[in-house]
Amino acid sequence: MTKDYGVLLVDGPLSGITTRAIVTISKDNKVLYSELVTEIADEPNYQAALDSIK
C-alpha cells in the first residue's frame, strides 16, 4: 500500500518509513481531497480533509 500511494520514503536516513499523507474518498470512490506532506515534521491540513467530506 505504501508504494501504491507514493508515501514510502526510499532514500536517506528515513528510508523505510512513510511520509504524512491524507486522502478522503467518497462513497462512489472519487478522491475528494488528498495531500502529501513533503516535510515530515509538518502535518497535513486535517481541516481541509474534513471539510471535503461535509
Domain range list for the chain: 2-52
Per-residue model confidence as pLDDT tens for the chain (54 residues) = 788 888 898 899 989 999 999 999 999 999 999 999 988 899 999 999 999 999
| pLDDT at residue 32, as a whole number | 97
pTM of the full structure: 0.76
Residue owning grid cell 508515501:
7
| pLDDT at residue 2, as a whole number | 83
What are the cell numbers at 50?
A: 474534513
Residue owning grid cell 513533503:
38
Q: Output DSSP code: residue 8.
A: B
Q: Are 30 and 44 in contact (CB under 8 A)?
A: no
